Amino acid sequence: MLTPTSKIYVAGHNGLVGSAIWKNLQQRGYQNLVGKSHRELDLLDPLAVKEFFDREQPEAVILAAAHVGGIMANLRYRADFIYQNLQIQQNVIGEAWKHGVQKLLFLGSTCIYPKEAPQPMREDCLLTSPLEYTNEPYAIAKIAGLKMCESFNLQYGTNYIAVMPTNLYGPNDNFHLENSHVLPAMIRKIHLAKCLNEGNWEAVRRDVGLRPVSIPQENIRIDETSSEDDILHVLAYYGITPHSVTLWGSGAPMREFLWSEEMADASVHVLLNVDFKDTCTHATTNSDGITEWRNCHINVGTGKEISIRQAAELIVNEIDFAGELCWDRSKPDGTLKKLTDVSKLHSLGWHHKIEIEEGIHRLYQWYLQGICINHQS
């Protein structure tokens, strides 16, 4: 059983969820926390990970580190998404087992579910039909991670739990115009368009100075020192003009969004109060007489959905942008409907509180503070 003095390693403690988990643990009185930046510890390096576990000997591990991105990044950098995530999981989960870690929490994603999964998606629809092609490599890596946890538990009696969060947003998110999640990308695009519309070049330069923007194909990069013409050219490439914002797809897909700090609260709740035996209560016996334990992971979400178009309109209203919202239907929509069934999570004692309208307001206010942690140009 973990206590406030237990040493807990949070892998990915500077990220969207990891930073929120760190804060949540501290608020609960857990102070013996260990976190390393990518520069301090490369989780792709098996020797470095082994040496870290040899030195630190954590009692619990939260694996929130991952190589993540939006639709276009998943489509273009398929090898990176499957290789890096598999390697991180292999290294961290493997060394946790070798070093006798008591409890491990693995953060996956609801993209593990089939493209045509019944809605809302229950845990038991995993591996029942083909995945969405766009992010298939990432999904396969996350399925491998949850199966690693499940398999170590069944073979070695460990207590490793996998949670599958829905679409997350919140403080310390990445606001890259191409590689970020959908909500932060839309917030930044609409914010920049508003600044251009109002002729507020000071705000535009402050934004691109904090988070420089580039067009790799043209070998051009803008920051606060760039000319107005260069800034307008690069932002237009990403669909941002003084009078309009163009977003990817049709806006029709329905999505569920969860505030990252609530994901953190759910994660810590599971870490402290839930054991593997609580998540895997229904075994079946197959025709060969073998007992099958499956679907022991936990969906984490709100159980509520909104269209991408509706979310964009909420952001337009929050930011007070007077221009036009356009949609580029040549870009992929991804799965049209993805809503989680959170019945298992509710039965384990956790419910969400923050609705999407409040979350968008909070995220925009955080963005305006000019904090930049997870941006790469």
Is position 104 within any domain?
Answer: yes
Is position 47 within any domain?
Answer: yes
pLDDT at 351 over 50: yes
Q: Give me the mean pLDDT over the 233-243 stretch.
A: 97
Total H helices, total E strands in the chain: 13, 17
189 neighbors 239 (Cβ within 8 angstroms): yes
% of the chain surpassing 70 pLDDT = 98
pLDDT band at 70 (very low <50, low <70, confident <90, very high): confident
Per the structure block, which two tokens stand in for 176?
């890259």
Is position 213 within any domain?
Answer: no
**Average pLDDT over the chain, rounded to an integer:** 95
What is the DSSP code (8-state) at residue 183? H
SS3 333: coil
Predicted TM-score (pTM) of this structure: 0.90
Predicted pLDDT of residue 178: 79
Predicted pLDDT of residue 375: 47
pLDDT tens digit sequence for 97-132: 999 999 999 999 999 999 999 999 999 999 999 999
Of 93, 39, 40, nearest to 64 (Cα)?
A: 93
What is the span of the domain harbouring residue 18?
8-172+256-305+339-354
Predicted pLDDT of residue 336: 86
SS3 145: helix
17 neighbors 165 (Cβ within 8 angstroms): yes
Q: Give me the mean pLDDT over the 184-210 stretch.
A: 97
pLDDT at 44 over 80: yes
> Cα(276)–Cα(278) distance, rounded to whole angstroms?
5
In terms of C-beta distances under 8 Å and separation of at least 24 residues, what long-range contacts does 272-276 make, across chains too? 272/2, 272/28, 273/348, 273/349, 274/161, 274/298, 274/348, 275/159, 275/161, 276/153, 276/158, 276/159, 276/160, 276/161
Predicted pLDDT of residue 372: 64
Predicted pLDDT of residue 147: 98
* HSE, side-chain direction, 13 A CA sphere, residue 167: 25
Of 88, 114, 65, 126, nearest to 297 (Cα)?
A: 126
Is position 250 within any domain?
Answer: no
pLDDT band at 377 (very low <50, low <70, confident <90, very high): very low
What is the count of structural domains for the chain? 1
- 163 CB contacts (<8 Å, ≥6 apart)? 105, 106, 107, 108, 266, 267, 270, 297, 298, 299, 300
> Cα(52)–Cα(337) distance, rounded to whole angstroms?
41
Is position 296 within any domain?
Answer: yes
Is position 119 within any domain?
Answer: yes
Higher pLDDT, 373 or 149: 149
Residue spans of alpha helices (H) in the chain: 16-27, 46-56, 71-76, 78-98, 136-156, 182-197, 201-210, 228-237, 260-273, 276-279, 308-319, 343-347, 356-368
Is position 72 within any domain?
Answer: yes
Of 35, 32, 25, 30, nearest to 7 (Cα)?
A: 32
**Active-site residue (options: 9, 30, 138, 364):** 138
The answer to whether 30 is a known catalytic residue is no
- 264 CB contacts (<8 Å, ≥6 apart)? 17, 20, 21, 23, 24
Which CATH number goes with the domain that contains 71?
3.40.50.720
> Cα(295)–Cα(315) distance, rounded to whole angstroms?
36
SS3 102: coil
The residue type at 338? K
Predicted pLDDT of residue 302: 98
pLDDT band at 73 (very low <50, low <70, confident <90, very high): confident
Please count the other Cβ atoms lying within 10 Å of the Cβ belonging to residue 236: 14
Is position 183 within any domain?
Answer: no
